[in-house]
Amino acid sequence: MGLALVHSRARAGVAAPAVQVEVHLSGGLPCTQIVGLPAAAVRESRDRVRAAILCAQFEYPQRRITINLAPADLPKDGGRFDLPIALGILAASGQIDRDALAGCEFLGELGLTGELRPVDGILPAVLAAARAGRRLVVPAASAAEAALAREAEAYAARTLLETCAGLSGQARLPSVGEASGEAAAETLRPAPAPPDLSAVRGQLQARRALEIVAAGGHHLLMSGPPGCGKTLLASCLPGLLPEASEAEALETAAVHSISGQGLDPSRWRQRPLRAPHHGASPVALAGGGSPPRPGEISLAHNGVLFLDELPEWSRAALEVLREPLESGRITISRAGRSAEFPARFQLVAALNPCPCGFAGDPSARCRCTPDMVARYWGRLSGPLLDRIDLHLSMARLPPAQLRADAPPAESSAGVRARVEAARARQEARGSGLNARLDATGLAACCRLADAEQALLEQAAERLQLTARSVHRVMRVARTIA
């Protein structure tokens, strides 16, 4: 009888819960059985592991093999458990030293030749292994992603045979930083910068609004005719935001790591800009599937989510935004399992003032009736609009302001310096960005004198503002101040 224990990690949202792979060899007819709530891809690992062990010139035990993935109530999916299952079989059969597995965790899918292939969610697993005080062995193809967790101790291997040689001391497994080498240095170069604000001609009020939004972390709704610069302004916003901190960059990278779309290390510390098409479904926006994967609002975490042609979005998709705009998180629940994803983003939305887009234009070419305009704006719910801090109306630029020889406007670098200074004052205050101030924070940071309080109450009564709108006014005023 042989018994071996190998540590690994599952995937549950942005978390990476620990999994113990227990392998037991006993007498009886030769067979391999996997228990512990495995998905189809995990059950199929029996054939992949058998072929990989034989190709690595090891012996596959002709005995009854029971593999338990504990805890038994945690769903397991994907090919991430191939490597720990193979090592458990080799250790239980005495072909490698089982003591060498202690203090280590393993992740990786095996090819039939014993080659290690990358899997999703490497970065959350590396961070979780570091918190548990264990080393992690990952496929060499995932070394660049694992190297982003600089405080973790992780190593890279190309094959099952190379992993066994490293465990036995016959060879040295390189760290993920060494394995990534010059290729990782190449990929970690900064990605192309976002458009510069100097490309925006005119629109001084819109530029000022964008600076306020960037400084306080507020949401923005822009309304204007086609071609007035709404999309260009939205694409400039990430260039006005300060570089993401190490913690923020790790949070964002962890979400992209489990998304199935892959993680681009070249965008390390660059705040994401997500601009999904208005035909996207509520699941694409919020996340979903089985197992649940993050949607666009989570992929925009610590960055910007730009929704163009806002009334053209389905009502169900837009209503998904209401809770994340307040809490910064979203929970995806499916039959049998649920997952929570971070969704702390800045929303920038754009729309036309009417169906044809030219309401209020000096050319007087709009032919939309008041009923048509009312139905157009009626596609947006009041509670959603109430959660957007700034509403901006833009006008079509006169041709004289679009001349190529016009003097350039202020660049993103100058505006970013003021934004960073404003954010530094907010962080030094200890209550976070103005857009995230709760009632207690508003009372502490936005004290009003009697005259100002009376003016605010008069405006709220005349404009029929909700309590949330009154708080939004105070938050934006604090940012402007």
- Output the DSSP codes for 196-249: PGGG--S-HHHHHHHHHHHHHT--EEEE--TTSSHHHHHHHHHHHSPPPPHHHH
d(CA 211, CA 225): 22
Residue-by-residue DSSP string for 2-37: EEEEEEEE--BTTB--EEEEEEEEESSS-EEEEESS
Cα–Cα distance measured from residue 167 to residue 77, given in angstroms and rounded to the nearest whole number: 26
Q: How many CA atoms lie within 13 A of 302 on its CB side?
A: 20
Neighbours of 159 (CB within 10 A): 20
- Token pair listed for 456: 């605010």
Q: Report the pLDDT value the prediction gives residue 404, as an integer from 0 to 100.
A: 67
* Cα–Cα distance, 333 to 335 (Å, whole number): 7
List phi, psi (to 5°) of 104: -125, 155
Contact 361, 396 (CB under 8 A): yes
Question: In terms of residues, how long is the chain?
Answer: 481
Report pLDDT for 190. Answer: 58
Q: How far is 86 from 303, CA to CA, in rounded Å?
A: 40
CA distances from 185 to 121, 124, 148, 177, 376 (A): 21, 21, 12, 9, 50
Mapped onto helix, strand or coil, the DSSP state of residue 81 is: coil
Query: Is-contact 218 389, C-beta < 8 A?
Result: yes
Angstrom CA distances, 300 to 137, 171, 461, stand at 29, 42, 36
Show the beta-strand stretches assigned E in 113-223.
116-117, 135-139, 154-157, 220-223
**3-class state of residue 42 by DSSP:** helix
Q: Quick check: 67 and 21 in contact, CB under 8 A?
A: yes
For 340, residues 6+ apart whose C-beta sits below 8 A from its C-beta are 13, 14, 329, 330, 331, 332
276 in Cβ contact with 320 (< 8 Å): no
CA angle 101, 107, 90 (to 5 degrees): 45
- Classify 78 as helix, strand or coil: coil
| pLDDT computed for residue 479 by the predictor | 93
- Secondary structure (3-state) at 439: helix
Q: What is the pLDDT of residues 3-59, one digit of tens each?
A: 999 999 999 889 999 999 999 999 889 999 999 999 999 999 999 999 999 999 999
Q: What is the pLDDT of residue 336?
A: 67
Q: Which residues contact 333 (CB under 8 A, 6 or more apart)?
A: none
What is the reported pLDDT for 397? 81
Q: How far apart are CA 28 and CA 86, in angstroms?
A: 20
- Which residues make Cβ contacts (< 8 Å) with residue 284, sequence separation at least 6? 276, 295, 296
Distance (Å, whole) CA 297 – CA 326: 13
Stretches in the chain below the pLDDT threshold 70: 1, 181-191, 336, 404-405
Predicted TM-score (pTM) of this structure: 0.88
> Would strands 220-223 and 390-393 be described as parallel, antiparallel, or unpaired?
parallel
**Amino acid present at 11:** R
CA distance 259 to 62: 39
Displacement of CA 446 from its chain's centroid (Å): 32
Q: Name the CA dihedral angle for 16, 22, 28, 30, rounded to a multiple of 10 degrees.
A: 50
